[in-house]
Amino acid sequence: MVIIIILTSCMSEENYVTTSADAMKTYELKNFEEAMKSLGKPENRPTNENMKSTNGIELSQNRQMILLESAKLFLISEGIGEEQLNAVSTTEIIAMAFETRTKKLNEISSELKSLNYNN
């Protein structure tokens, strides 16, 4: 009797799928998000001079460079060609990466909802 309960318990645990959004993110997406988080570090925050010169809207050159490499790698991992990236500005690359990140997170969210619905 005890053996049957243990086997049943193990079989039901095998069928149970737990997946987190973080587990579904690619290395490149996680790397880009880490670069975004690093902008909040004191040494990477905009100076008052930067805020005045860009009206607080644009990233300073230094802050763009923090994001650029991880943004490129993320976009390439999502199927955007290097030649396409070479044809646009740094600002456009970063904007594309933010847009692609939003789409990817929405896809992950939808997939998680479908997994949870099916369980």
- 23-34 pLDDT per residue, tens: 899 999 999 999
Task: Report the alpha-carbon distance of residue 71 to residue 3 in Å, rounded.
Answer: 53
Q: Is the pTM of this model over 0.85?
A: no
Q: Which two tokens stand for residue 104?
A: 């990817």
pLDDT of residue 28: 96
Compute the 3-state secondary structure of the chain and give helix, strand, coil in percent, each to the nearest 5: 75, 0, 25
41 secondary structure, DSSP code: S
For residue range 30-57, list pLDDT tens digits in order.
999 999 999 999 988 887 777 776 665 6
**String of b and e for 23-41 (b: at least 16 CB within 10 Å)?**
ebbeebbebbbebbeeeee
Q: Do the beta carbons of residue 33 and residue 69 sit within 8 Å? A: no
Q: Which two tokens stand for residue 44?
A: 């990477």
DSSP per-residue letters across 107-118: HHHHHHHHHHHH
